[in-house]
């Protein structure tokens, strides 16, 4: 076993004494129930983390929204688009041999995708872009942190009055 770990001997000493192994993983002599409890505890901590629960809620809401949009496209938009020809998109198909290709269902799916994309763009992306643009306008540009010495061309702090390299006096500039 190596004696140093990232420049420190602490893990190596702890491993020799058995403390490090007991706090990080069940040791070789640990029984199966102890290992199982550790795995279940880790899984519980993972599941109860806030971002996993938020992701699960977002997935459920997203699938419900997709179902709603599919119903909107199938029951409202498709009949409106097919009024001139008195054709339902879902019935459009062609047959080759024994197989039937329902390209009307595919057209419904494309329309549903476009509706979801438009909803996300206009109700999520555009508002976030406008808010971030407003925040950037309020903050303005940050003053520079460094400037160049006119004598030796070294980079010095912006508020410096004298160069640290050549000791030349440097005039304060307006930010």
What pLDDT is recorded for position 48? Answer: 75
Are residues 145 and 139 in contact, defined by beta-carbon separation less than 8 angstroms?
A: no
Assign 175 a pLDDT band (cuts: 50, 70, 90). Answer: low
Point out the least confidently predicted range of 18-32, 64-78, 113-127: 18-32
Using the predicted structure, report yes or no on whether residue 126 has a pLDDT greater than 90. Answer: yes
Mean pLDDT score, 148-162: 89
User: How many whole angstroms separate alpha carbon 91 and alpha carbon 74?
Assistant: 11
pLDDT tens-digit profile of 87-111?
677 778 889 998 988 888 888 888 8
Assign 139 a pLDDT band (cuts: 50, 70, 90). Answer: confident
pLDDT tens-digit profile of 2-56?
444 444 444 444 445 554 444 445 555 555 556 667 888 888 887 777 777 788 8
How far, in Å, are 21, 25, 35, 160 from residue 15 at the CA level? Answer: 6, 11, 18, 50
Using the predicted structure, report yes or no on whether residue 1 has a pLDDT greater than 50. Answer: no
What percentage of residues in the chain have a pLDDT greater than 70?
Answer: 75
What pLDDT is recorded for position 4? Answer: 44
What pLDDT is recorded for position 123? Answer: 87
Q: Which two tokens stand for residue 81?
A: 């688009």
Domains defined for the chain, CATH in brackets: 50-139 (1.10.1200.120), 143-175 (no CATH)
Predicted model pTM: 0.45
What pLDDT is recorded for position 38? Answer: 86
Using the predicted structure, report yes or no on whether residue 113 has a pLDDT greater than 90. Answer: no
Assign 130 a pLDDT band (cuts: 50, 70, 90). Answer: very high
């Amino acid at each position: 076993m190596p004696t140093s770990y990232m420049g420190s001997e602490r893990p190596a000493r702890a491993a020799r004494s058995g403390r490090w192994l007991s706090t990080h993983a069940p040791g070789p002599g640990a029984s199966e129930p102890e290992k199982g409890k550790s795995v279940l505890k880790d899984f519980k901590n993972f599941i109860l983390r806030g971002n996993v629960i938020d992701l699960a809620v977002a997935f459920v809401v997203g699938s419900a929204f997709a179902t709603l949009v599919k119903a909107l496209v199938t029951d409202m938009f498709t009949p409106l688009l097919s009024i001139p020809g008195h054709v339902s998109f879902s019935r459009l198909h062609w047959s080759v041999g024994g197989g039937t290709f329902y390209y009307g269902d595919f057209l419904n799916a494309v329309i549903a995708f476009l509706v979801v994309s438009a909803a996300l763009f206009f109700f999520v992306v555009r508002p976030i872009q406008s808010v971030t643009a407003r925040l950037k306008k309020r903050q303005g540009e940050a003053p520079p942190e460094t400037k160049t010495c006119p004598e030796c061309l070294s980079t010095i702090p912006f508020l410096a009055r004298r160069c640290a390299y050549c000791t030349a006096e440097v005039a304060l500039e307006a930010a």
